[in-house]
Every structure is written in structure tokens, then in C-alpha cells.
Amino acid sequence: MQNQHKISCAHFPKCGGCTALNIPYTEQLSAKKKMLHNLFSSFNIDIPEILASPNPLYYRHKVQLPFGSFGKGRDRKVTLGCYALDSHNVIDQKECFVQDRDLTAIAHTIRRWAQKCGFEPYNEKRGNGFLRHCLLRKGASTGEILVGLVTNGGRIAGSRNLARSLMDEAQKVTGKDSQIVGVIQNINTRSTNVVLGEHYEVWWGREFLKEKLGQYRFNVGLSTFFQVNPFAAPLLYNLVLEQIPENSNVLDVYCGVGTITLWVSQKASRVLGIEENPHSVREAIAAARVNEVKNVKFLTGDASALLARHTNDFNIAIVDPPRKGLDERVINALKESNVSKIIYVSCNPQSLCRDIKMLSPHFRLTSLKGVDMFAHTAHVECVAALSADN
């Protein structure tokens, strides 16, 4: 296993990207298991060892970095990197041990390109400046890379030439098996901490990259929810799969682009994916078609309303909500359903624990396992199994 010893990073501990880089990896896993044990102690269940990330270094295949600046006038320099811990001060990133190496190299190229082109970084206090964030994604299995620029303003003249100049420089620093397939502008003129706006402009290429997890192929866009650690994602999905009884009828709530839906289709009789984002549903339908998976279906709409309408026909429910956890209406719909088992995927153990208590006494926690999707941070992904307490 990599990283048995401390790592010396020029930005640690000021950078907010990592909080445990100075702790040997095996000790990080032990600390995360202890945290889960303490948090879920009242449930009287055994928690096994946290599943380690196969690649605890350079695992992040999605990079989201804010622009900043220092100096004044002609001496002003563009900065790009993570925010400093507990602040919005940009650390001018020189190295990173958790980002994919190609994406780090491209980020450095984008900083130089922005400086050369004279683009002004966004200033949160004054609400002016053009470049807000750099967003990069890479397909681990394909080497395809998307370059995203979040801007405080619309498409500018000569964007195709700007994209070409950026690509020419970026392609020089990437590995021989990597290729930039799209340069995309996301327009966000709102005064908000939300990174992405709603409108996209393709400066060059296509707006998605191709990725493969296990036997399944997906198209991944800038805003697509897709696990940032492609090496550990199969471990996570296999924990879900092992909880699926053969030939069961499964609801996959908050299904996104259908990664878990397709993964469990190999054991289930049929799977219904529920997702409120219509773009994600379109991508999920396309993924099912490309992968020739016939026993899945997807619906767009409110999770609680669709749950109430369809739970009589399904005996297993998978839920994979955002960090805030389950909507109270979804919890009530599950309580009133005929579902005999819930498989809860969570990136936030605190909201998971709260929701399990809210699902009681209708459902009882029977299993909890952790996967280290986010090495060198305090975060851990969990898969919890709950059985109907009849």
C-alpha cells in the first residue's frame, strides 16, 4: 500500500484540500474506522476495517480550483489553487499529491495562459473580474480530459482561437495516453458560492468525456455527478451489489447518470432509477442503451412523489443522496412503503446516522461498511444496509 509514511507538500497544512497528509495512510484508515465506531455505537453493530483506496495518491479525477491574484497593476499575477483552510484565500498551487498528475499540470498551464491573455480573476467582494474557477475532469480508463472555465461573463470573441492556444500548451504537459477532448465555458454571473452556472458554451470539441467503470461505459460532462476516485468506485459499488438479493426488484433513488443502477442490474430482476435532474436522466438512458442493459428504466421527478407511486412494486431501495442526507419527505415515503431493505450510500456519516435514527423503528441498521474514497481527508464513504423491522 502506498503512503506508509508522511508526505511533504509545500502547501500543507495551509491548503484546505487535504487535512491528513501528514498521517501515514494505515493510521488514517484506523482513525476513520474509529470515527464510525463512535458515531454508530448506539446501534450495536460491528464495523469492519475501512476498504483502502487502491491508489491513495493522485486519485482525484475531478479538479475544481478557484482563480485569484496578488500584486497590483502591471505586477498583478494570476493565482490558481485550492482555498486556504477555513477561508477563501487562494493557495497558488505548485504541487498536489491527490490530484491526477495530468490535471495538475494542465492547471499550471491554465494559470500561465490566463496571465498571458490578460484575463482578470474574479473578485468576490467587488463582483468583478472574468475567471472564477477552473474545472478539469479526466477519464481514468480512456485518458480523455475536459477543460472547463467558469466565467463571470458571456462568450468572448475569438474563443476558438483562445481554446486552441490553451490546448496547444496543455497537450505538451500531459501524458502520451491522455488527450483533451473539449474546452468548455460555464457562465456564472451570480453573486454566489455555487461554482457552476446554468449556461455552457463549447469553445472547442465536445462537452463530455468517455469513461468506463468495470464493464460499463458512461459519458461524463463538467457538471455530471461521477465519483472523483475511479480506483475506489468499484469497491463502493460492489458493497452495494453484495446487498442485492438475486432477482429482486430495485429502486435506485437519486440515481444520477445511472452508475449504481447499471452496476446492480447484473443481479436484480429489474431496476428503476429516480432522479430529479433531467439532464442526468438523459445520460442514464443513453448509458443503458450503449451498455445494452435491458432491465433498467429511469424516471425524472421528485424522489418522494415517485417513491410513493412505485414502492409497492419494489422490495429493495437504494438511496444515494447529497451530503445533506435524505429529504424528510423521502424518509416518510420509505416508512410508508413495502420496501423490505434499504441500501444507503452516504458521503456524510453524520447525516447518515441522523437519517437512520429517523427511519427507526420501521427500519433497523444491520450492516455498515466504509470505503476510503477521499484519502488524506477526514471524509469517508459508507454503505449501510437497513432491514424492515416487521
pLDDT digits (tens, 9 = 90+) for 30-48: 999 999 999 999 999 999 9
pLDDT digits (tens, 9 = 90+) for 228-271: 999 999 999 999 999 999 999 999 999 999 999 999 999 999 99
pLDDT surpassing 80 at residue 78: yes
Question: H helices within 149-252, ranges in order?
Answer: 159-173, 233-241
Spatial separation of the C-alpha atoms in residues 349 and 325, rounded to whole Å? 9
Q: Answer left, alpha or beta for residue 174, where phi above 0 means left and psi between -120 and 50 means alpha.
A: beta
Spatial separation of the C-alpha atoms in residues 55 and 250, rounded to whole Å? 31
Architecture of domain 25-55+229-388: 3-Layer(aba) Sandwich (3.40)
- pLDDT for 74 equals 76
pLDDT surpassing 60 at residue 290: yes
pLDDT digits (tens, 9 = 90+) for 322-344: 999 999 999 999 999 999 999 99
3-class secondary structure, 284: helix
pLDDT surpassing 90 at residue 352: yes
pLDDT digits (tens, 9 = 90+) for 176-233: 899 999 999 999 999 998 999 999 999 999 999 999 999 999 999 999 989 999 999 9
3-class secondary structure, 331: helix
Catalytic residue IDs = 347
Q: Boundaries of CATH 2.40.50.1070 in the chain?
A: 62-221
Q: Boundaries of CATH 3.40.50.150 in the chain?
A: 25-55+229-388
Question: Phi, psi (5° rounding) for residue 69?
Answer: -160, 160
- pLDDT for 385 equals 98
- pLDDT for 298 equals 97
What is the fold of 62-221?
OB fold (Dihydrolipoamide Acetyltransferase, E2P) (2.40.50)
